[in-house]
A and B are shown apart, each in its own frame.
Chain A
Amino acid sequence: MAIARNIVNIAIAAAEKEGAKRITKVNVVAGELRGFIPAQLIFCFGLMAENTIASGAYLDLEITPVMGRCRKCEETFMVKDYRYVCPKCQGEDIQTVSGTELRVKDIEVE
């Protein structure tokens, strides 16, 4: 709920800065590790957007996969099922390079 409110606030602030009257779409990037359930977030977003210039806007949620980088052999790979093991050298010292992001990418306005 708080996340949805933040999304609406960020979108409105960006739209107002450009003098836009209405927000039609908000594109959000969320990492898989955030564990969001898209339907739930979209529902909360709809509630929070009511009676604002974002009312009725479409929320697009782009889920980015978890990517890891092996600290031993530098291989970058997609982490499936939270298996933090390097497919190349079997190293287990893995740095998460993506999958935790959470940001408003852009918005579409009228």
Chain B
Amino acid sequence: MKINVMTDILEANDRIAADNREVFDKHRNLVLNLMSSPGAGKTMLLEKAGEALKGKLRLGVIAGDIETARDSERLQKYKLPVVQLTTGSACHLDANMVASALPHLDLSKIDILVVENVGNLVCPAEFKVGEDYKVVMLSVTEGDEKPLKYPLIFRESALLLINKIDLLKYTNFNLKEAKANARRVNPDLDIIDISCTTGEGIPDWISWLNQRYQKKFGTKARA
């Protein structure tokens, strides 16, 4: 016997993500789902953002890690509100895990909440967590063909950060090719070249954050 089902496999997750989104909107949080391969520089990016946004927009972080709490320890040095989610064997954060972190954060004191996903270019793209935007980070020590190998994550993201731009001359990474590949998958993608080490491009990333915050809430960032 055949039974018609027609159920979206991610429906349960999407429902919880929508609930999260409602909570975020109520607290006036701009929420980003930050994704990359392991070691691309997500945590360092947040360290830099925390510094640059100090006294302007208040940053909060939910950090996903398979085993350790090292990322959140690094971020706590910057006095950022951080919740660490240890995912065990799971290779991504889902809406439910993020929901479980919310009681541990004072969302009313956060303007921009970044969900730092587990380092992985595949699964995180599948699971909405309630974010306004997905941001994908690629470093020049990876390959410029990545957007074509992992199309969904580049297709779903609003912003691509190309990190470690200071190392470009030591690699065979073709910046032009990487951007062309990314735009092939997603013509609307914003792209910013950065180096978390030298600070190059960080002001552009900060102004992207400011623009998106203002777009969502229509007000100037708190001075």
- The interface of chain A, by Cβ under 8 A from chain B, is 1-3, 6-7, 10-11, 14-15, 18, 20, 28, 33-35, 81-84, 92-94, 96, 100, 102-110
Quick one: given A35-B151, A92-B187, are A10 and B4 in contact (CB under 8 Å)?
no
- Whether B5 sits at the interface, judged by CB under 8 Å, is yes
A-B contact count (CB 8 A): 85
Q: Which of B1, B6, B91, B187 contacts A104 (CB 8 A)?
A: B6
Segment of B8-16, B42-50, B68-76, B77-85 engaged in the interface with chain A: B8-16
B134 CB–A CB distance under 8 Å: no
Enumerate the 7 nearest inter-chain pairs by beta-carbon distance, A residue then B residue, closest first.
Answer: A104-B5, A82-B185, A14-B5, A82-B184, A103-B8, A102-B9, A6-B9
Contact B1 A108 (CB under 8 A): yes
- Cβ contact within 8 Å between B123 and A2: yes
Which among B3, B12, B155 is the interface contact of A107 at CB below 8 angstroms? B3
From residue B141, how far is it (CB to closest CB) to chain A in Å?
22
Q: Which residue of A is nearest B148, CB measured?
A: A82
Residues in B neighbouring A6, C-beta threshold 8 A:
9-10, 12
How many residues belonging to B are interface residues under a CB distance threshold of 8 Å?
A: 28
**A109, B9: Cβ atoms closer than 8 Å:** no
Given contacts A33-B151, A33-B155, 19 further A-B contacts (CB under 8 A): A2-B90, A2-B92, A2-B123, A3-B10, A3-B123, A6-B10, A10-B7, A10-B9, A15-B3, A33-B152, A34-B152, A82-B148, A82-B151, A82-B184, A83-B184, A84-B187, A102-B126, A107-B3, A109-B3
Min distance, Cβ B39 to any Cβ of chain A, angstroms: 21
A103 vs B5: C-alpha distance when bound (angstroms) = 9
| A105–B7 alpha-carbon span in the complex (Å) | 7
Which residues from chain A contact B152 at a C-beta distance below 8 Å? 33-35, 100
Complex Cα spacing A100 to B155, Å: 10
Which residue from B1, B90, B184 sits with its C-beta under 8 Å from A110?
Answer: B1
Chain A, residue nearest B181 (CB):
A82
- B2: which A residues are within 8 A, CB to CB? 106-109
Q: How far is the CB of A86 from chain B (nearest CB, A)?
A: 12
Chain B residues proximal to chain A, CB less than 8 Å:
1-10, 12, 89-92, 94, 122-123, 126-127, 148, 150-152, 155, 184-185, 187
- Of B1, B126, B148, which one neighbours A109 at CB under 8 angstroms? B1
Complex formed: what's the CA distance from A6 to B123 in Å? 14
CB distance from A99 to the nearest CB of B (A): 9
Please give the distance in Å from B60's CB to the nearest CB on chain A: 25
- List 6 A-B pairs, Cβ < 8 Å: A83-B184, A84-B184, A102-B10, A104-B5, A107-B3, A109-B3
**Residues in B whose Cβ lies below 8 Å from that of A83:** 184
Given contacts A2-B94, A18-B3, A107-B3, contact A35 B122 (CB under 8 A): yes
Alpha-carbon distance A83/B116, docked complex (angstroms) = 30
Q: Which residue of A lies closest to B121 (CB)?
A: A35
Complex CA distance for A35 and B126, rounded to whole angstroms: 10
- A93 partner residues in chain B, CB cutoff 8 A: 187
